[in-house]
């Protein structure tokens, strides 16, 4: 939280001053009751059974004053709002290892569930697309605001052959708005070449500038067992260069080391490779999530739905705080009147 007029917070000094004055007055009345025992007996009789009640209105008044001071400083709070310029691509592993059932009912079905719930959680108008990858990466649906189209495409995914995580990531990155100009398969050159894209400009050294690229993200779901195509770390470097945040979701159980007949320690070949997915996320300032249980699946799409395609916008909330102060003050007055009648 920030403040438009932070100097107003100095008024908070009134709160301890008034609290101290009230405590002094209470103690002074207690001292006076010693000199006049009859008054002390009368005060005890009126407050019998509820000695705390006489202090509640004072505490409420001090809380009201505190909220008024907060409103005076004009607080500004970051509010999450839909980012209409952002786009996100889903990149889902459909390799043969995704049929493993260490995640119920299978890894690929779990991935489809997370993807579907994630798309449904996106704000209306947010652009989302889909890439699937096995031996090769295929753009199934370009980034679109038609969320039902993407959900239908996710539901049609079926397991295929090998795992090319790097290719799946690159295909998703180049499908994002403004990134196609850097796609080596679409034009000559690479990231260091001359860019002709509408959102790209060249600096004095001839290197493409990424300053005008719109915000974008990739949600990559896999068991991490890369075995063909572009190295995942190279693809992650390209994503980072093009200002694409990659959030990775690992599906499956981590490797359990077993001893074979020769006495050597080996792990299950279909075990979840978390290191690859963690490195991709770290390189692109994204996040990694493991999805091994139903609870994990719910937590993953819930978290991603809050951070992808949303942005924080500072909004002054002094009006809300002032309203709360007025309501608290009115409640304090009402409480004081009611308790006075009860006494």
Listed in sequence order, the DSSP H helices in 175-262 are 232-241
Q: Is the pLDDT of residue 263 over 60?
A: no
Q: How many CB atoms lie within 10 A of CB 143?
A: 20
* Residue 200, pLDDT score: 42
Assigned token pair, 57: 């209105």
Q: How large a percentage of the chain has pLDDT more than 70?
A: 78
In the chain, CATH 3.40.50.410 covers: 84-184+208-308
To 10 degrees, the CA torsion angle through 224, 230, 235, 236?
30
Q: What's the average model confidence in pLDDT over 174-195?
A: 68
* Residue 108, pLDDT score: 94
Q: What's the average model confidence in pLDDT over 104-114?
A: 92
* Residue 283, pLDDT score: 96
64 or 205, which is more confident?
64
Q: Is the pLDDT of residue 317 over 50?
A: yes
Q: Is the pLDDT of residue 342 over 90?
A: no
Question: Shortest CA distance to 150 belongs to which of 174, 181, 175, 186?
Answer: 175
Q: How far is CA 172 from the centre of its chain?
A: 21
* Residue 209, pLDDT score: 64
186 — phi, psi (to 5°)? Answer: -95, -20
Q: Is the pLDDT of residue 340 over 70?
A: no
Q: Is the pLDDT of residue 262 over 50?
A: no
Q: What pLDDT, in 10s, does the model give residues 208-241?
A: 567 778 889 999 999 988 888 999 999 999 999 9
Q: What pLDDT, in 10s, does the model give residues 147-165?
A: 999 999 999 999 998 999 9
pLDDT, mean over the chain: 80
* C-alpha–C-alpha distance, residues 18 and 26, integer Å: 12
Residues 6 or more apart whose Cβ sits within 8 Å of residue 217: 86, 87, 88, 89, 244, 245, 246, 247, 286, 308, 309
240 or 125, which is more confident?
240
* C-alpha–C-alpha distance, residues 92 and 98, integer Å: 10
Q: Are strands 87-93 and 2-3 parallel, antiparallel or unpaired?
A: unpaired
Assigned token pair, 246: 């990659």
pLDDT band at 258 (very low <50, low <70, confident <90, very high): very low
User: Residue 66: which H helix or E strand, with range?
Assistant: helix 56-72
Q: Omega into 105 within 30° of 0, i.e. cis?
A: yes
* Residue 219, pLDDT score: 96
Q: Are 257 and 222 in contact (CB under 8 A)?
A: no
* C-alpha–C-alpha distance, residues 242 and 261, integer Å: 48
* C-alpha–C-alpha distance, residues 113 and 288, integer Å: 17
DSSP string, 304-330: HHHHSSEEEEEEE-HHHHHHHHHHHHH
Question: Shortest CA distance to 172 belongs to which of 223, 221, 207?
Answer: 221
Q: How large a percentage of the chain has pLDDT more than 90?
A: 36
* Residue 52, pLDDT score: 62
3-state helix, strand, coil in the chain (%, to 5): 45, 20, 35
Q: Is the pLDDT of residue 54 over 60?
A: yes
| CATH number belonging to domain 84-184+208-308 | 3.40.50.410
pLDDT band at 201 (very low <50, low <70, confident <90, very high): very low
């Amino acid at each position: 939280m920030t403040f438009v007029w932070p100097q107003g917070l100095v008024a908070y000094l009134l709160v301890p001053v008034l609290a101290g004055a009230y405590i002094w007055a209470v103690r002074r009345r207690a001292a006076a009751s010693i000199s006049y025992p009859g008054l002390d007996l009368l005060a005890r009789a009126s407050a019998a059974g509820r000695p705390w009640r006489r202090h509640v209105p004072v505490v409420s008044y001090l809380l009201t004053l505190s909220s008024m001071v907060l409103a005076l400083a004009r607080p500004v709070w970051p509010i999450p709002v839909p980012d209409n310029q952002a786009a996100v691509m889903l990149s889902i592993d459909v390799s043969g290892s995704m049929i493993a059932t260490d995640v119920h009912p299978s890894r690929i079905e779990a991935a489809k569930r997370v993807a579907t719930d994630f798309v449904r959680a996106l704000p209306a108008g947010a652009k989302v697309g889909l890439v699937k990858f096995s031996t090769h990466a295929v753009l199934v649906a370009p980034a679109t605001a038609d969320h039902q189209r993407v959900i239908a495409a996710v539901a049609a995914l079926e397991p295929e052959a090998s795992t090319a995580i790097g290719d799946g990531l690159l295909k998703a990155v180049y499908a994002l708005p403004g990134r196609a100009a850097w796609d080596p398969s679409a034009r000559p050159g690479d990231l260091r070449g001359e860019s002709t894209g509408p959102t790209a400009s060249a600096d004095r050294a001839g290197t493409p500038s990424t300053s005008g690229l719109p915000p974008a993200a990739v949600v990559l779901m896999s068991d991490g067992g890369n075995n063909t195509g572009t190295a995942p770390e190279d693809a992650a470097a390209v994503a980072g260069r093009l200002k694409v945040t990659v959030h990775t979701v690992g599906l499956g159980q981590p490797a359990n080391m077993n001893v074979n007949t020769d006495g050597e320690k080996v792990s299950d070949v279909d075990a979840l490779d978390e290191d690859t997915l963690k490195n991709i996320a770290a390189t692109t300032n994204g996040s990694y999530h493991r999805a091994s249980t139903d609870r994990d699946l719910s937590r993953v799409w819930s978290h991603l739905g809050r951070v992808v395609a949303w942005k924080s916008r500072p909004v002054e909330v002094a009006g809300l705080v002032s309203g709360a102060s007025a309501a608290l003050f009115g409640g304090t007055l009402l409480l004081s009147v009611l308790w006075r009648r009860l006494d």
